[in-house]
Chain A
């Protein structure tokens, strides 16, 4: 056994007591015969192993740390939206949509009615013809507008729901 063969053991298993009795005995024999390895081994023990044996133990304030831990556990066990900023944001957006929904619906009905009136006046020759008679014209337009209002009003509600679905 030469010095190179045992250098790794002198840095690891030997000072850490991880060797078989047989292998440890071999190394002890080499150390008793080799001054260089003995000095190396002593230095490893004194400089790299012994200091850790004297490591002081810290002790944390047990009750205080426990209070903090249980506080965090409580936060995590609470309903998700109370602690999750992302969910909170979605809920706020949803609330906003609910509030603006009637106003949005009314605006949509108005716009669509106006577009419908314009469309029938310019594009539909039948409507254009009817528009010659003022009474039936007004009736027809009112009828179409009512139809559209009902449909569009439903669509608007669906539109809002779609946004909600998309977010959630």
Chain B
């Protein structure tokens, strides 16, 4: 990210596709991963990612160098993905996700230390699926991307206390889903 120069950003903001390609290559990984976790389905990730980069290209002339480019791109990614998942919300999937995690809870009891990547992915999908898009964005930026509360606040343009309360409510919701495990442990 640091090697994206001011010059490249300015040229891309004027519509130079070659300059924009530099930004695209540097950012594709984190953009697609954040988009994937917020829409929470692999099949839509490519479409949302394309939409994110088109939004970046269209809006780059509004970038004022007040925040870092990465923060700004995180913001566009989150907003684009949230809008997408609000449009495409799948109600049927919610119950499926809940059933899935309930099944996994039982697996966890027998082998708590040996969680395969595949079942861990199912746990993540089911946990995220229980959240509102706004809560999901905070959890993704914090728990997967490793942003601080302040960085999340800057990205989403909301107060730090709002970030904290969204994370709190998100974790309470996720706790309810995994209650059986907790009860078992307590």
- A44-B175, A62-B28 given; A55·B37 CB < 8 A: yes
Q: How far is the CA of A69 from the CA of B167 in the complex (A)?
A: 34
Which residues of the partner chain B approach A56 to less than 8 Å between Cβ atoms? 117, 121
Which residues of the partner chain A approach B185 to less than 8 Å between Cβ atoms? 39, 42-43
Q: Is B49 an interface residue (CB 8 A)?
A: yes
Contact B57 A73 (CB under 8 A): yes
Q: Is B94 an interface residue (CB 8 A)?
A: no
| Number of A residues, CB within 8 Å of B | 36
Contact B143 A49 (CB under 8 A): yes
Label chain B's interface by main secondary structure: helix
| Number of B residues, CB within 8 Å of A | 46
From B58, B124, B174, give the contact of A55 (CB < 8 A). B124
Which residues of the partner chain B approach A73 to less than 8 Å between Cβ atoms? 17, 54, 57
Given A43-B181, A48-B171, output 15 extra A-B contacts at Cβ < 8 Å: A12-B168, A13-B149, A48-B127, A54-B117, A54-B120, A55-B120, A56-B117, A56-B121, A57-B33, A58-B32, A60-B45, A62-B25, A65-B49, A72-B50, A73-B54
- Identify the A interface with B (CB < 8 A): 8, 11-13, 16, 18, 36, 39-40, 42-44, 46-49, 51-60, 62, 65-66, 68-70, 72-73, 76-77
